Amino acid sequence: MVFEAVVVGPLSVNCFILGCEGTREGVVVDPGGDVERIIQAVQGHGLTIRYIINTHGHFDHVGGNRQAIAAFGAPLLIHQADAPMLDRVADVGRMYGIRSENSPAADDFLADGMEIGFGACRMKVLHTPGHTQGGCCLYLAEEGRVITGDTLFADSIGRTDLPGGSHDQLLESIRSKLFVLPDDVAAYPGHGPETSIGHEKRHNPYF
């Protein structure tokens, strides 16, 4: 399976490019910016992008949606609870002194337990509210990988002081949706280095 992280945008978001080795169908997760670099990576792997997916609606993760959709012609998926954020990207970015552009509306919505296929590959949507109400993780069981967005980081968790955030809800999401996965599952956060479910269960200071 193709699995590459490209660090993009002023807040160093991990944009993930996934692809089926056989069919060369793929997905792009969280195109937060620097879309020309994402395009280069996709072309380098010879992929046809089937979906563009946002793990949540914060501007640093969705800021490149419009360019990515124009480049790849793929439908955009996000959880319905975060969909209203897509047309407020520019305003929120300005609050942080960062220029961003609003995203097109979602073509479909992520839902807990939903399976997304691209070629022979499958990933399962895990709805993990707390950082935002629509936050989701993407579990690739056969690959032993989970993309955790801003839900879980290496030795940390997502912030919960922004609108829609809830500390208690985030901890419960992590316990019930991520810490039930096998310990050897590699976790790939929306910022920073990868970790593992087992490491976080044993060493994350929030637990």
Q: Which CATH number fits domain 2-203: 3.60.15.10, 3.40.50.300, 3.40.50.920, 3.40.50.1980?
A: 3.60.15.10
Confidence (pLDDT) at 38: 98
Task: Tell me if 207 sits within 8 A of 201, measured CB to CB.
Answer: yes
CA torsion 58-59-63-69 (nearest 10°) is 30
* The residue type at 19: G
Q: Quick one: tokens of 3?
A: 């699995």
Identify the band that residue 100 occupies on the pLDDT scale cut at 50, 70 and 90. confident
Confidence (pLDDT) at 187: 98
Q: In the predicted model, is pLDDT for residue 52 greater than 90?
A: yes
Q: In the predicted model, is pLDDT for residue 96 greater than 90?
A: no
Q: In the predicted model, is pLDDT for residue 99 greater than 90?
A: no
d(CA 130, CA 23) in angstroms, rounded, equals: 36
Based on its alpha-carbon atoms, the radius of gyration of the chain, rounded to whole angstroms, reads: 16
Angstrom distances, CA of residue 114 to CA of 101, 111, 138, 156 = 29, 5, 10, 26
Q: In the predicted model, is pLDDT for residue 121 greater than 90?
A: yes
Residues 48-70, mean pLDDT to the nearest whole number: 98
| Angle at 189 (CA atoms; ends 184, 190), nearest 5 degrees | 165
Q: In the predicted model, is pLDDT for residue 205 greater than 90?
A: yes
Spatial CA neighbour of 134 closest among 104, 169, 185, 99: 169
pLDDT (tens digit, 9 = 90+) per residue, 158-184?
999 999 999 999 999 999 999 999 999
Angstrom distances, CA of residue 79 to CA of 54, 76, 184 = 8, 10, 27
pTM: 0.97
Q: In the predicted model, is pLDDT for residue 142 greater than 90?
A: yes
Confidence (pLDDT) at 203: 98
pLDDT (tens digit, 9 = 90+) per residue, 6-44?
999 999 999 999 999 999 999 999 999 999 999 999 999
